[in-house]
Amino acid sequence: MELDIIPSERRAALDGRDLAIGARAFDVLAFLHAHRDRVVAKTELLDHVWSGLLVEESNLSVQIAGLRKVLGRDAIRTVPGIGYQLTLGTPAPQAPADPPPVPDRPSLAVLPFANLTGTPDQDYLVDGIVGEITAALSRIPAFLVISTTSSFTYRGRSVDLGRVGQELGVRYVMEGSIQQAGARLRIFAQVVEAETGHMLWSERFDGSDADIFELQDAVAEQVAGALEPTMIWAESARARAKPTDSLSAYDLCLRAAPMVYRQNSLADLTEAMTLTRQAMDLDPDYIQAKALFAYAHTCALATRWWTYEQAIAAVPQAYEVLESPTADALALTYCGHYVAYVERDRARGREALERAARLNPNSATTAMMLGWVCNYADDSTSALPHFERVLRISPLHPQIGVTTCGIGMAQMQRGDFEAAAEAYELAMSQYPEFATIQMGLLCVYVRLDRMEEAARLADWLRAKVPNLSVARFLRTTPHTSPLHHELMVTALRAFDFPEDDLA
C-alpha cells in the first residue's frame, strides 16, 4: 500500500485515493510519515501537533484511533512506554505459534507507561506507578492480570495492541503516560479492547511529586475501582453477542448482570432471575449464579417492585454462597448484603462484607454495600466513610444513586436533616426508580415541615407501594435505628397510611 502526503495541499492519499481525515489527524499522520524510520515519542507528537497548547494525551489517542480506522489497525503500532511508529505496508510480525488462550474471565495487561516528563531518570517513577496499578488490579479476584515481568517486555518494541492481546492471552490492555510541569504530575491511563482497539475507559489524575506515594496509591485504587464495574459491563456485552444456543452458565450470568445492575425495570430483573436459574440448572454449584440470583431479589425489593414475601425466595442460595469456601469478593458482597437486608441477619451480613473488603479492598460495590449494612445497624459513623470511598474511587459507578441515598440515610439517622435532604434530592435525580430514596426523603420533609413536598412523595409512594402500612414497615425494615423508626411512622401517619396490613 502506498501512502502519499502532500503538505502544501494538506492532503493524504492511500493508493491514489484521498483520505477523509481532519486537520489534527493529518498533522499526526504527516509527522509519523516524515519519521517513519523510527519510533516517535508521544511527547514529540504532542509538541509538534499541538505546539504551544496544554492538551490531554487523550487528544492524541483519539487521533491515532481515527487514523487506524482509515488506514487499518496495523498501520500504526504502539511502542509501550515510548510512542508510535507508522508501519503501513510492512508485514505484521507473526504471533507465537501457541499463544495462551484468552480466559473466560476478564483479563488485562498493563503495559509500560510513556515517560513524558522530559527526564529519562524519572523512568523509575513511571514504573513504580504502573507497578502499583498492576498490584491493585491483581487483588480483584474476578480479573486475570498479567504480571509486569511479562508486560514490561514490550518496552521499546513496536507492537500492535491486538497482537499484545494474542501474545499474552488477554482481552484488555492498559496503556498510559506521565507528564510533569514543575512539581505537578499528570497521569493519563486508558484501557482498550485488544482485538478491536475500542477504548473502554480513560482517566486523568493530577498530583504533586511531593506526595508521590499517596498519588500512586490514589491512582491505583481509582483505576481498580472504576474498572471493576466497567469490565463487568464490557464482558456482559460480549456474552450477549454470542449465539443463544451456545451459552454456558458463565455467559448466562454475564447476560443477567447488567439487567440486575441497572435496576430500571421489573421486566429486566425478572429476566435476570430466569437467566440465573438456568445457570444454576446447568451448574448447581455455580457460586456466581447463586449470588446474582440473590442480588436480583434484593433489587426487586429495594425498588418496591416486589414484596418482602417474594424477596425471601433467595435465602437458601444466599446462605449457600456465604458458607462456600470458594466464594469470591463480589459473591460475598451480594449475599452478605442480601441476608442483612432481606433476612435481617445483620451480623452475618456485615461479617461477609468485611471479608469481601479484605479480599478486594478496591471494590466500590463492596464499599457501597458495607455502608448500607452499617446503616441497618444504626452505625452511621462507620457507614459514611464507606460511601465517601465509593465516590472517590468510582464516581461513575452505575449505581451511584444508591450510594448517594445511603449518605442521605446516614445523615438522617444522625439527625442532620438538612444534609440528609440535600443528599436524598441528589439521589432522586440519579436514580428515581429507587423507592428507598422517596421513603427517606418523605421522613426528612415531614421533619423539616416541608409538607407540600412531602405530600407529593406520599402520593408517589401510595401508587408505587399500595400495601405500605405502619405495621408492614416495622415488620420488614432492616433498620434498627429508633430515630429512623420514629421518623417513618410519623410520616406514614401524617398522610393517613393504614396502621395494619391491607387485606
Separation CA 438–CA 422 (nearest Å): 13
Question: Across the chain, which distance is largest between two alpha carbons, in Å?
Answer: 83
Q: Which amino acid belongs to residue 371?
A: G
**Model pLDDT, residue 497:** 95
Evaluate if residue 165 carries a pLDDT over 60: yes
Q: Which amino acid belongs to residue 55?
A: V
How many independent structural domains does the chain possess?
Answer: 4
To the nearest 10°, report the CA torsion of 303, 305, 307, 312: -70
- Once rounded to an integer, what is the mean pLDDT over residues 466-486? 93
Evaluate if residue 217 carries a pLDDT over 80: no
Evaluate if residue 169 carries a pLDDT over 60: yes
Nearest Cα neighbor of 338 from 309, 289, 305, 297 is: 297
Evaluate if residue 214 carries a pLDDT over 50: yes
* Residue 187 shares a structural domain with residue 209: yes
Evaluate if residue 453 carries a pLDDT over 50: yes
Q: Which domain holds residue 297?
A: 242-361
CB of 410 closer than 8 Å to CB of 375: yes
Separation CA 307–CA 501 (nearest Å): 12
**Model pLDDT, residue 338:** 97
Is residue 171 in some structural domain? yes
**Model pLDDT, residue 246:** 38
Is residue 102 in some structural domain? no
* Residue 206 shares a structural domain with residue 149: yes
CATH number at residue 193: 3.40.50.10610
Nearest Cα neighbor of 254 from 225, 233, 273 is: 233
CATH number at residue 464: 1.25.40.10
Strands 114-116 and 172-181: parallel
**pTM > 0.75: yes or no:** no
**Model pLDDT, residue 91:** 54
CATH number at residue 61: 1.10.10.10
Is residue 431 in some structural domain? yes
To the nearest 10°, report the CA torsion of 450, 465, 270, 285: 90
CB of 434 closer than 8 Å to CB of 461: no
pLDDT band at 230 (very low <50, low <70, confident <90, very high): low
- Once rounded to an integer, what is the mean pLDDT over residues 48-56? 75
pLDDT in tens, 7-41: 888 888 888 888 888 888 899 999 998 888 888 88
**What DSSP string runs through 404-415?**
HHHHHHHHHHHT
pLDDT band at 90 (very low <50, low <70, confident <90, very high): low
pLDDT band at 243 (very low <50, low <70, confident <90, very high): very low
The DSSP output letter for 497 is -
* Residue 191 shares a structural domain with residue 291: no
Separation CA 2–CA 373 (nearest Å): 63
* Residue 431 shares a structural domain with residue 487: yes
The continuous run of DSSP H or E covering 192 comes out as: strand 184-193
Evaluate if residue 336 carries a pLDDT over 60: yes
CB of 329 closer than 8 Å to CB of 224: no
Which spans in 86-203 are helix H? 123-138, 148-151, 161-168
* Residue 250 shares a structural domain with residue 227: no
Separation CA 466–CA 17 (nearest Å): 67
Higher pLDDT, 273 or 231: 273
pLDDT in tens, 366-418: 999 999 999 999 999 999 999 998 887 777 677 889 999 999 999 999 999 99
Residue 196, φ and ψ in degrees, nearest 5: -105, -20
Is residue 471 in some structural domain? yes
- Once rounded to an integer, what is the mean pLDDT over residues 95-104? 64
Evaluate if residue 219 carries a pLDDT over 50: yes
* Lookup: cell for 169: 492471552
pLDDT band at 503 (very low <50, low <70, confident <90, very high): very low
- Once rounded to an integer, what is the mean pLDDT over residues 181-209? 81
**Model pLDDT, residue 247:** 53
How confident is the prediction for the chain on average, in pLDDT?
Answer: 84
**Greatest mean pLDDT among 122-131, 273-282, 299-308:** 273-282
